[in-house]
């Protein structure tokens, strides 16, 4: 069984929610990246979404863009370099790792080479936000053969038919984008937040995680009332930059805290 699917099955059995942090690979160098991964693993996260720096990110907000720029310009981080580094850490990192990359870096590296390296590195899944459902056959057969889950995204503008179509393709989890825009910290949720997540949850046969704009413990626990967990990116990056590890732990622990009625 895929490592990601196995992890979510265990969570569902005990009625717990998922917390998946996003970190940019190598934004402070690969050794710091290793420290961050091991800290998150020790802190009890469900999985880690690892961003690959890219020069033209379409979905990333200012915080993640700046982190990616540092990784590229100061440390020369590449997709191949990250996968090779993760392969070296394979015996130390036991939680599922999900790579987040755009199509261009994968295409330039070569789809087969990328999947081969990902498999050797123990990657459980990948998120490719600019790969539409209609074109994913360029790599889904190879990913499936390698036991790597393609995590797909749905948005506020996705129709019910589209959400159902996308959800039925997956086995790990469904990424429910909760804003009509790029990543980044928001102070509050929009009016349709609860109804949107409820709709996605009803239509999806696999776990649903909410992401984009979630940055406080209160938002984490509120989102978990309507779905199976959360993905937190920009805030995690900011807290790591400040070495504020205690606040990261508070966010992680908020997934199973009920919001006051």
Q: Do the beta carbons of residue 150 and residue 136 sit within 8 Å? A: yes
What's the CA gap between 54 and 99, in Å, rounded? 13
Structure tokens at 37: 């991964």
Look at the chain and count its residues: 261
Phi, psi of 95, deg, nearest 5: -80, 155
Contacts of 145 (CB under 8 A, 6+ apart): none
Residues assigned a catalytic role: 49, 60
Q: Do the beta carbons of residue 57 and residue 27 sit within 8 Å? A: no
Instruction: Kindly give the pairing relationship between strand 149-151 and strand 125-127.
Output: parallel
Angle between helices 62-73 and 234-241 (to 10 degrees): 60
DSSP letter string over 85-138?
HHHHTTTT--S-EEEE--HHHHHHH-HHHHHHHHHHTT--EEE-TT--GGGGGG
């Amino acid at each position: 069984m895929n490592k990601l699917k196995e992890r979510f099955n265990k969570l569902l059995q005990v009625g717990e929610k998922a917390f998946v942090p996003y970190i940019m690979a190598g934004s402070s160098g690969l050794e710091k990246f290793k420290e961050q991964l091991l800290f998150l693993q020790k802190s009890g996260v469900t999985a880690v979404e690892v961003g690959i720096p890219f020069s033209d990110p379409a979905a990333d907000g200012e915080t993640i863009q700046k982190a990616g720029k540092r990784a590229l310009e100061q440390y020369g981080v590449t997709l191949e370099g990250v996968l090779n580094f993760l392969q070296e850490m394979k015996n130390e990192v036991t939680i599922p790792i999900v790579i987040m990359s755009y199509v261009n870096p994968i295409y330039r590296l070569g789809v087969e080479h990328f999947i081969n390296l990902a498999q050797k590195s123990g990657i459980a899944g990948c998120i490719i936000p600019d790969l539409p459902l209609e074109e994913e056959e360029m790599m889904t057969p190879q990913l499936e053969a390698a036991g790597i889950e393609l995590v797909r995204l749905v948005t506020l503008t996705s129709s019910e038919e589209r959400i159902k179509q996308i959800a039925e393709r997956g086995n790990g989890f469904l990424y429910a984008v909760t804003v009509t825009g790029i990543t980044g910290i928001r102070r509050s949720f929009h009016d349709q937040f609860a109804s949107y997540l409820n709709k996605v949850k009803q239509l999806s046969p696999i776990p649903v995680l909410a992401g984009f704009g979630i940055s406080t413990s209160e938002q984490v626990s509120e989102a978990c009332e309507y779905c199976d967990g959360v993905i937190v990116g920009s805030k995690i990056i900011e807290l790591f930059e400040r070495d504020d590890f205690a606040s990261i732990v508070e966010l992680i622990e908020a997934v199973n805290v009920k919001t006051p009625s």
